[in-house]
């Protein structure tokens, strides 16, 4: 059984809570003009941001929930510059926050106080691509969507996809072990990342490291060069796995080698309406059995999510709903981009996608699957995208839920792993709990569930007109305790960041947490790498 911290108070999403619960580490240095001068000399004036207005996007996260107070953001262009930067920051005990696309959802990518932001935005080049093996090597600041387009032009695709693809950096994806929409088919970054180049805060070897693997790094002993494009390499501990998901607390990833997958010749997407959650899991079982080797994504969303997306986003509609969106395509008979003769709003929707090499084979598989799930009643309605435009539109319905929630008002976001068959019970239990305390639908509070059902990953969201500590105290630690009781994970893919930094023990026992602390101390004795996040401090 997992041990639990008896009185853990997880740092909440409310801005007020943050500054009360965490204190700035007095041992850290404070930015001075001399420091800025050094940075400017190293990176050029264009690589150093000190203007308060220009610093705002570096200080604030995407959801506008976490706001820091850095006085300087840096934009290095090369690994050597990053190494010099960290050497200097280490010598001055200046705390550092590595920042990619700043699309994280747990406050891990922005400063808590005045930590120096080191952005990978200027390190966005593709370094290498092998058209035979499909291995791609890129600097950490390359945007995921750009890499996917680059790979696409060569007949390949990136092995991960997520809603933030237009902004997130591959280095950030690796640092957070991002999951996304296609993990069920292409696996996690722990499998698809072949190599990394990481800059450590303190040097671990003398200059010009031994061995032929010196590569371009080595430098002053703080560049960890694990950048290989080998599928198999059993030579000692697999160190790159430490940094995948370390959320910038051990070092800064400066380059990534990743295995791309062949771009599928045939893609199919079905949007299905299910009458109940057991029907959803039944359809998932059937999909695994009948679509198996070509299944590339299985997502679900509940009916409130569908309404949110269509109500708050321009041009998004659910093709299975009569009349389309709230402000839909007007009245009268006719298409308006929906199906006809559909049953009205269903409690659950699923997206089932296939990637394969042969359109005819895949269509037959999909047809048999659809017949089976329509036949056994687990699906009551659905549609098959007939063109790329329709497929994009259907994905927009699912991918837009997150954005729609932010537009509606305040959002409390939870990302958990739970046993698939009972996953939705948490949503129902929380909904009932909040309603009983006066935070129900009439109070404008919505409790919704959606996510990567193929991976056992639920995105539980509570949408309210405004942030409210009373509401929060009903949600936390209830959600974490529920997940812990079911041996689940309090963070399936979003990571710990600042939001859950006190909550690690809900999912990891004391031996594991202590080993993590020791590794952190060896690699980063001054603790300057992304402080206040991920690991809870040792109990006094």
Partner 1 sequence: MSMNPFDEIAVEEAIRLKEKGVATEIVVVSVGVKQAAETIRTALAMGADRGILVVAADDVHQDIEPLAVAKILKAIVAEEQPGLVLMGKQAIDNDMNATGQMLAALLGWAQATQAGAIEVAGDKASVTREIDGGLQVIEVTLPAIVTADLRLNEPRYASLPNIMKAKKKELVEKTAGDYGVDVSPRLTVVKTAEPEGRKAGVKVASVDELVSKLKAAGVI
Binding site for partner 1 (CB under 8 A): 270, 272, 319-320, 329, 333-342, 359, 367, 370-371, 374, 379, 381-388, 390
Cβ 158 vs Cβ 174: under 8 Å: no
Cβ of residue 441: shortest distance to partner 1, in angstroms? Answer: 30
- Whose Cβ is closer to partner 1: residue 236's or residue 335's? 335
- 276 to 168, 280, 302, 311: CA distances (angstroms): 35, 7, 10, 23
Cβ of residue 386: shortest distance to partner 1, in angstroms? Answer: 5
Cβ of residue 383: shortest distance to partner 1, in angstroms? Answer: 4
Residue 380 CA to residue 276 CA, distance in Å, equals 10
Cβ of residue 286: shortest distance to partner 1, in angstroms? Answer: 14
Cβ of residue 379: shortest distance to partner 1, in angstroms? Answer: 7
- Whose Cβ is closer to partner 1: residue 121's or residue 290's? 290
Contacts of 502 (CB under 8 A, 6+ apart): 5, 8, 9, 10, 11, 21, 536
DSSP-assigned letters across all residues of 10-72: ---SSHHHHHHH----TTS----HHHHHHHHHHH-GGGEE--HHHHHHHHB-TTS--B---S-
- Whose Cβ is closer to partner 1: residue 372's or residue 443's? 372
- Whose Cβ is closer to partner 1: residue 92's or residue 317's? 317
Q: Mark 57-72 as b/e (b = at least 16 C-beta within 10 Å).
A: bbbbbbbebbbbebbb
Residue 40 CA to residue 36 CA, distance in Å, equals 6
Cβ of residue 314: shortest distance to partner 1, in angstroms? Answer: 15
Cβ of residue 451: shortest distance to partner 1, in angstroms? Answer: 23
- Whose Cβ is closer to partner 1: residue 346's or residue 410's? 346
- Whose Cβ is closer to partner 1: residue 84's or residue 381's? 381
Ranges of beta strands (E only) in 211-324 are 223-226, 252-259, 261-262, 266-274, 295-302
- Whose Cβ is closer to partner 1: residue 49's or residue 370's? 370
CA 371 to chain centre: 34
User: Long-range CB contacts (< 8 A, 24+ apart) of 309-316?
Assistant: 309/396, 309/397, 309/398, 309/400, 309/401, 309/404, 310/397, 311/404, 312/403, 312/404, 312/407, 312/408, 313/396, 313/400, 313/403, 313/404, 313/407, 316/393, 316/396, 316/397, 316/400
Cβ 103 vs Cβ 168: under 8 Å: yes
DSSP state of 263: P
- Whose Cβ is closer to partner 1: residue 270's or residue 411's? 270
Beta bridge mates, 415: 459, 491
- Whose Cβ is closer to partner 1: residue 126's or residue 384's? 384
Query: For the chain, what is the radius of gyration of the CA atoms?
Result: 24
- Whose Cβ is closer to partner 1: residue 386's or residue 540's? 386
Cβ of residue 196: shortest distance to partner 1, in angstroms? Answer: 40
- Whose Cβ is closer to partner 1: residue 211's or residue 335's? 335
Q: Mark 256-277 as b/e (b = at least 16 C-beta within 10 Å).
A: bbbbbbebbebbbbbbbbbbeb
Cβ 222 vs Cβ 204: under 8 Å: yes
Cβ of residue 329: shortest distance to partner 1, in angstroms? Answer: 6
- Whose Cβ is closer to partner 1: residue 50's or residue 390's? 390
The dihedral of CA 324, 459, 175, 256: what is its sign?
negative
Contacts of 334 (CB under 8 A, 6+ apart): none
Beta bridge mates, 257: 137, 195
Cβ of residue 402: shortest distance to partner 1, in angstroms? Answer: 24
Cβ of residue 316: shortest distance to partner 1, in angstroms? Answer: 14
Angle in degrees, 0-180, between the axes of helices 277-291 and 359-375, rounded to the nearest 10: 150
Cβ of residue 339: shortest distance to partner 1, in angstroms? Answer: 4
């Amino acid at each position: 059984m997992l041990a639990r911290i008896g009185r853990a108070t997880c740092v909440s999403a409310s801005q007020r809570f943050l500054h009360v619960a965490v204190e700035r580490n007095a041992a850290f240095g404070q930015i001075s003009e001399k420091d800025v001068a050094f940075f400017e000399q190293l990176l050029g004036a264009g690589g150093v941001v000190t203007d308060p207005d220009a610093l705002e996007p570096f200080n604030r996260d995407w959801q506008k929930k976490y706001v820091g107070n850095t006085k300087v953001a840096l934009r290095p262009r090369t690994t050597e510059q990053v190494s010099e930067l960290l050497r200097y920051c280490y010598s001055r005990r200046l705390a550092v926050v590595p920042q990619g696309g700043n699309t994280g959802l747990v406050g891990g990518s922005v400063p808590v106080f005045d930590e120096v932001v080191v952005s990978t935005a200027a390190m966005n080049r593709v370094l290498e691509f092998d058209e035979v093996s499909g291995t791609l090597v890129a600097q950490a600041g390359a945007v995921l969507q750009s890499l996917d387009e680059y790979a696409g032009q060569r007949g390949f695709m990136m092995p991960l996809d997520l809603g933030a693809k237009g902004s997130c950096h591959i280095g950030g994806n690796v640092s957070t072990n991002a999951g996304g929409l296609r993990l069920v088919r292409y696996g996690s970054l722990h499998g698809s990342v072949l190599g990394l180049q990481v800059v450590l805060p303190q040097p671990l070897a003398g200059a010009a490291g031994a061995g032929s693997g010196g590569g371009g790094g080595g430098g002053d002993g703080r560049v960890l060069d694990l950048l290989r494009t080998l599928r198999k390499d059993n030579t000692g501990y697999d160190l790159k796995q430490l940094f995948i998901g370390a959320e910038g607390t051990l070092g800064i990833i400066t380059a990534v080698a990743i295995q791309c997958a062949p771009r599928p010749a045939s893609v199919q997407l079905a949007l299905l309406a299910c009458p109940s959650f057991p029907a959803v899991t039944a359809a998932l079982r059937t999909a695994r059995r009948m679509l198996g080797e070509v299944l590339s994504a299985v997502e679900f969303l509940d009916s409130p999510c569908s309404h949110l997306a269509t109500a708050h986003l321009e041009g998004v509609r659910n093709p299975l709903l009569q009349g389309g969106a709230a402000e839909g395509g007007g009245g009268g008979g006719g298409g308006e981009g929906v199906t006809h003769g559909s049953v009205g709003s269903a409690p659950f929707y699923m997206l089932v996608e296939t990637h394969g090499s042969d359109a005819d084979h895949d269509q037959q598989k999909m047809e048999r699957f659809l017949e089976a799930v329509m036949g056994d009643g687990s699906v009551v309605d659905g549609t098959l995208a007939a063109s790329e435009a329709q497929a994009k539109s259907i994905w927009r319905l699912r991918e837009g839920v997150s954005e729609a929630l932010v537009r509606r008002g305040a959002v409390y976001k939870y990302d958990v792993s739970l046993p698939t068959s009972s996953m939705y019970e948490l949503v129902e239990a929380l909904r009932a709990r909040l309603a009983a305390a006066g935070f129900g639908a009439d109070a404008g509070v919505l409790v919704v569930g959606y996510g990567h059902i193929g991976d056992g990953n639920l995105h539980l969201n509570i949408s309210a007109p405004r942030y409210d500590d009373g509401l929060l105290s009903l949600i936390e630690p209830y959600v974490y305790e529920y997940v812990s009781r079911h041996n689940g994970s309090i963070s399936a893919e979003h990571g710990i960041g600042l939001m859950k930094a006190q909550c690690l023990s809900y999912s990891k026992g004391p031996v594991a947490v202590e080993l993590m602390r020791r590794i952190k101390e060896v690699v980063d004795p001054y603790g300057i790498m992304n402080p206040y996040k991920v690991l809870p401090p040792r109990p006094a």
